[in-house]
Amino acid sequence: MSGYAARLPAGDRPLLMLGISGVIALEDPVVPARTVRLTAWGRWAREVAVPEVAADRVAELAGLFQIVWVSEWGHVAHEAFREVLRLPEAPWPFLPAQFDKLPVIRDYAGRRPWAWVDEPVADLAGPVPRSDGGVVVRVGAGAGISEVDPADLARRVLALR
Partner 1 sequence: MDTGTAYGLRLREPNLDLAQVGPGTPYGEVLRRYWQPVARSDEAITAPKALRILGEDLVLFRTRRGAVGLLHPRCAHRGASLYYGGVEEEGIRCCYHGWVFDPRGHCLEQPCEPELGLHRERIRQPWYPVQERYGLVWAYLGDPARKPLLPRYDTLEELGPGEHLIVDDTGVGGGGPALLDFNWLQHWENVLDPFHVPILHARFSGFQFTPEMALMPEVTFEYTDRGVRSVQTRELSDGRRLRRVTEVVFPNLRVVASPRLSAGRTNIIGWVVPLDDTSFKIFTLARDTDPDFLRKLRSTHDGRPWAELSEAEHQMMPGDYEAQKSQGSVSLHHEDHLTITDQGVAMLRRMMARQIRAVAEGGHPAGVVFEESAATIRVEGGNYFEDGPDAAGDGSA
Residues engaged in binding partner 1 (CB under 8 A)? 1-4, 21, 27, 40-47, 72-76, 96-100, 120-121, 124-125
Residue 129's closest CA among 109, 84, 99? 99
In angstroms, the Cα distances linking 56 to 32, 36, 59, 60, 106 are 14, 16, 5, 6, 27
Question: Minimum distance from CB of 96 to partner 1 (Å)?
Answer: 6
The least distance separating partner 1 from the CB of residue 78, rounded to whole angstroms, comes to 12
Kindly report the backbone phi and psi dihedral angles of residue 154, in degrees, each rounded to the nearest multiple of 5, phi listed first.
-60, -40
C-beta of 131: minimal distance to partner 1 in Å?
18
Nearer to partner 1, 27 or 56 (CB): 27
Q: For residues 49 and 33, is the Cβ–Cβ distance under 8 A?
A: yes
For residue 17, the minimal CB distance to partner 1 (Å) is 17
Q: Which CB, 122 or 154, lies closer to partner 1?
A: 122
Rounded-to-integer distance, Cα 27 and Cα 51, Å: 11
Nearer to partner 1, 75 or 82 (CB): 75
